A and B are shown apart, each in its own frame.
Chain A
Amino acid sequence: KNQVEQSPQSLIILEGKNCTLQCNYTVSPFSNLRWYKQDTGRGPVSLTIMTFSENTKSNGRYTATLDADTKQSSLHITASQLSDSASYICVVSAVAAGNKLTFGGGTRVLVKP
């Protein structure tokens, strides 16, 4: 069964500090991996999309990495801001799955002043 596992489940960091979130997946054959940010009470918003050939992609203070060999991805948040408090969800798509996305459980990040 295709699975996406994220760690840690939750994280508290001080404003201005950096943090890294982890994602491991067993989805195969791999098509693409996305990171979404979900604020409380809202739908997920895309941060990055990476295909097999890409191993890093940035969106402002967010940088995602992908190692397709070890089936791992990370999302690094630089110089965190209070507005970064949200859930961050790793999502993987398989080639054979058509349009079906497999979501991880998310990492809940709380940035404190």
Chain B
Amino acid sequence: GAGVSQSPRYKVAKRGQDVALRCDPISGHVSLFWYQQALGQGPEFLTYFQNEAQLDKSGLPSDRFFAERPEGSVSTLKIQRTQQEDSAVYLCASSSQSSPGQTYEQYFGPGTRLTVT
């Protein structure tokens, strides 16, 4: 079975452009997470889906960030009117967790490196 895949792997955007980052989770995984990782830092939580429901979006830094998972599988993170401070690696992770309280494993994709010029 394939792991979590993300595309594109690298994205260069001019300031003000909109970008869309894609995540393909492991087949059958109900939970999907997005993280933002600045250079030399640990990842920071952005948002979490269980199936198609976005249960937590408290980490999204501004209303320019939007995530969706309409069919409970593939997810897209969209950033509107990109700014230089949006430059980071965006990681996606998926998990088979089916109920709260379990100690579940999260499997990470390779990330998309976004550079805003």
Indicate if B62 sits at the interface (CB-CB under 8 A).
Answer: no
Contact across chains for A99 and B56 when beta carbons are under 8 A apart: yes
- Shortest CB-to-CB span from A86 to chain B, Å, is 13
Contact across chains for B31 and A43 when beta carbons are under 8 A apart: no
Contact across chains for A98 and B56 when beta carbons are under 8 A apart: yes
Query: What DSSP secondary structure best describes chain B's contact surface?
Result: loop
**Please, which residues of chain B bring their CB within 8 A of the CB of A95?**
101
Indicate if A49 sits at the interface (CB-CB under 8 A).
Answer: yes
Return the contact of A100 from the options B45, B91, B103 (Cβ within 8 A): B45
Contact across chains for B100 and A45 when beta carbons are under 8 A apart: no
- Mark out the residues of chain B between 25 and 58 whose CB falls within 8 Å of any chain A CB in the assembled complex: 31, 33, 35, 40-45, 48, 55-56, 58
Return the contact of B91 from the options A43, A98, A106 (Cβ within 8 A): A43
7 other A-B residue contacts (CB within 8 Å) besides A43-B109, A99-B33: A43-B4, A46-B106, A49-B103, A99-B95, A100-B56, A101-B106, A103-B42
Q: Which 10 residue pairs are nearest across A and B when measured between Cβ atoms?
A: A43-B108, A103-B42, A105-B42, A32-B103, A103-B43, A44-B108, A100-B45, A106-B42, A89-B42, A43-B109
